[in-house]
Chain A
Amino acid sequence: MTEATPSTKDIDVLTICQLLRPAEERWIGSRYRLTCADKDAVPDEIAAKARALITSGLDGAPASLIERMPKLEIITVNSVGYDLVDMKKALSRHIPVTHTPDVLTDDVADLAIGLTIMTSRRLAQADRFVRAGRWTKEKFPVAGKVTGKRMGILGLGRIGRAIAKRAEGFGMQILYTDRAKMDTPYRFLPDLVSLAKESDFLMVASSAGPDAKHLVNAAVFEALGPDGILINIARGSVVDEAVLIAALQAGKIAGAGLDVFEHEPNVPEALFGRDDVVLLPHIASSTRETRSEMGRLVIKNLEAWFTGKPLVTPTPETLAMLANR
Chain B
Amino acid sequence: MADKIDVLLIAGLLPAIDEKLSTTYTVHRHKPDAVPPDVAAKVRAVVTTGNMPPSLFDTLPKLEIISSVSVGYDGIDVTKAAAKKIPVTNTPDVLNDDVADLAIALMVMASRRLAAADRYVRDGKWLAGAMPLTRKASRKKLGIVGLGRIGKDIARRAEAMGMTISYTNRRAVADSPYSFIPSLIGLAKENDFLVVIASAGPDATKMINKDVLEALGPDGILVNVSRGRVVDEVALVEALQSGKLGGAGLDVFEDEPRVPAALLAMENVALTPHIGSATIETRAAMGQLALDNLAAWFAGQPLLTEVSETQTARVAR
Contacts and interface: CB of A to CB of B under 8 A. Distances in A.
A130 B271 contact: yes
A168 B109 contact: no
Interface string A164-179: 0110111100000000
A148 B139 CA distance: 24
B97 to A, nearest CB: 4
A126 B275 contact: yes
Contacts of B160: 165-166, 168-170
Interface in A87-102: none
A309 interface: no
A291 B135 CA distance: 10
B203 interface: no
Chain A CB count within 10 A is highest, among B139, B158, B160, for: B160
A218 B4 CA distance: 51
Nearest to B108: A114
B127 interface: yes
B47 interface: no
A305 interface: no
Contacts of B97: 145-148, 170-171
A90 B122 CA distance: 38
Which bracket fits the contact residues of A?
35 or more
A121 interface: yes
Interface string A8-52: 000000000010010000000000000000000000000000000
Contacts, number: 174
B156 interface: yes
Contacts of B270: 123, 127
A117 interface: yes
Contacts of B273: 126, 129-130, 135, 140
B127 A286 contact: no
A288 interface: yes
Contact of B130 (A18, A117, A124, A170): A18
A171 B133 CA distance: 31
Contact of A281 (B100, B101, B121, B272): B121
Contact of B112 (A110, A146, A267, A272): A110
Interface in A130-148: 130-131, 133, 135-136, 140-148
Nearest to B261: A133
A107 interface: yes
A266 interface: yes
Contacts of A129: 273
Contacts of A145: 97-98, 101, 279-282
Contacts of B135: 287-289
Interface size class of B (residues with CB under 8 A): 35 or more
A111, A130, A286 interface centre (most CB from chain B within 10 Å): A130
Given A107-B138, A130-B264, A281 B157 contact: no
Contact of A288 (B126, B134, B137): B134
A144 B284 CA distance: 12
B109 A110 contact: no
Q: Which of the listed residues A123, A144, A288 has the most CB atoms from chain B within 10 Å of its own CB? A: A123
B255 to A, nearest CB: 11
Nearest to B100: A147
Contacts of B264: 130-131, 133
Contact of B102 (A117, A283, A289): A117
B85 interface: no
Contacts of B39: none
Contacts of A148: 97
A247 interface: no
Contacts of B131: 281, 283, 286
Interface in B272-302: 272-273, 275, 278-283
Given A126-B272, A288-B134, A143 B108 contact: no
A243 interface: no
A215 interface: no
Contact of B272 (A21, A123, A291): A123
B175 interface: no
Nearest to B115: A127
Contacts of A141: 278
B266 to A, nearest CB: 10
Contact of B122 (A121, A147, A272): A272
B56 interface: no
B136 interface: yes
Instruction: Pick the most buried of B98, B121, B138: most chain A CB atoms within 10 A of its CB.
Output: B121
24 contacts: A110-B112, A110-B137, A115-B114, A117-B101, A121-B279, A123-B270, A127-B270, A130-B259, A130-B271, A130-B272, A135-B259, A140-B273, A168-B160, A170-B101, A265-B126, A267-B121, A279-B121, A280-B118, A280-B121, A281-B117, A281-B130, A283-B117, A288-B135, A289-B136
Given A107-B136, A124-B115, A127-B270, 11 more contacts: A106-B136, A106-B138, A107-B137, A109-B138, A113-B104, A143-B278, A144-B280, A169-B159, A279-B118, A283-B131, A287-B136
Interface of A: 18, 21, 106-107, 109-111, 113-115, 117-118, 121, 123-124, 126-131, 133, 135-136, 140-148, 165-166, 168-171, 264-267, 272, 278-283, 286-291
